[in-house]
Amino acid sequence: MRTWFCRNKVFVFCLLVSIELIGQEVSTNFDHSYVLAGFGVPIEVFSKKELCDSLIICAAVGRVKRGDAYSGKCWFLYHANKVGLDSIFICKQIGQDTLTLEKIPVVVAPWPEHKARFAGSEEFSGTLKVKRSRLFDFSTGLYVPIQVDECSGYLKIAGFKLLIVREGELIFETINYGGRFMKSTLHGLKEVLVGDKIVLKEIKVKMPGEENERELNEIIVEVY
């Protein structure tokens, strides 16, 4: 299961920060001071008195990289790599000292809710009704398509539980590591009969910028 990637490479969250330096004062139109974790934000700097090379931009938590000089613009790329509060500092080197011209608070927001799919189905959650003869059309496993604008691909599933319930009684349970069905999981599916329910729960994925795995939706498959 491949991990997520974004079109336009690092320019996936085009929130433009325009900064005008007047002496040592900085103004900015950074009106929406939040970014999604894992996304890059281009910061363009304008100055009538300072050379671009004399400016330093850094962040308390995230990463900042100077942009290409050949573009003719003075810009930096801020990369938000952890959910929570961060600060971007615009500085200038004066002798042995570093003078902070501006401190910009940033809220690094978590990704929105994502949902897993049972492979072979367009349904994200709830109860699916599947013919016994078609059950193995769904045997690839689970996947989580990225549901964020300007991005495509899939989130990596850490694992999930699969349960088979027959007439209200649990007859099979296994932990599947990763999104693709393991041999033990496929073995359990071979024992499924008409009328059984397959429950996929505790589906966990690693979200960008989050330390702990996030648990997603539960999927129930009714076999007929």
Q: 142 with 203: CB under 8 angstroms?
A: yes
Q: Which domain holds residue 132?
A: 117-223
Tell whether 43 and 103 lie within a shared domain.
yes
Q: How far is CA 186 from the centre of its chain?
A: 29
For 186-203, write each residue's pLDDT tens digit: 999 999 999 999 999 999
Looking at 109, 138, 173, the residue that finishes a domain is: 109
Tokens of 209: 């910028």
**pLDDT at site 111:** 95
Tell whether 170 and 201 lie within a shared domain.
yes
For 131-170, write each residue's pLDDT tens digit: 887 777 777 889 999 988 878 889 999 999 999 999 999 9
Looking at 109, 131, 163, the residue that finishes a domain is: 109
For 11-25, write each residue's pLDDT tens digit: 333 344 444 444 445
d(CA 135, CA 165): 15
What band does 9 get if pLDDT is binned at 50, 70 and 90?
very low
Looking at 109, 138, 169, the residue that finishes a domain is: 109
CATH of the domain at 31: 2.60.40.10
Q: How many domains does the chain have?
A: 2
